[in-house]
Amino acid sequence: SGHMDLNLQPGELVRVCDPEKIFETLNRSGKNRGLWFDRGMLNYCKRWHRVLSRVDNIIDDASGRMRLMKTPCIVLEGVDASGEHVRFLAQHDYPFWREAWLERVDPGAQPDASIPNRGLHPGSGQR
């Protein structure tokens, strides 16, 4: 589909894409290049978040070895795995996002008033 990698950097503001757009990137088993999109993540669609980090390497659970990901994952600030709907990521603190599921927000833009998202101030994430 000629998806452009956004090359998102920590601190950038992004909006999670609409579900329809995300579903277009998934194969029949609900994955994008091996990364699972869980229904619980739909709660974050259309919301704004800051990029916490880029993840280029992950530990392969099966082998315990570090492996380079062909497509980096993005971790969003304030989207943590506390809560029922992200049990599927028990081994991780945060769900991983593909850049295909995110869009960069113009820093000058105003958040959509209909979106109750107060999680944009830094330091709100518990470790």
User: Partners of 16 in the beta sheet?
Assistant: 102
Q: How large a percentage of the chain has pLDDT more than 70?
A: 70
Distance CA 53, CA 77 (A): 8
pTM for the model stands at 0.67
H or E, element range at 56: strand 48-59
Distance CA 78, CA 120 (A): 8
Q: Which of 119, 121, 17, 109 is nearest to 78 (CA)?
A: 119
pLDDT in tens, 37-95: 888 888 889 989 899 889 887 777 778 888 777 778 898 887 655 444 444 444 455 67
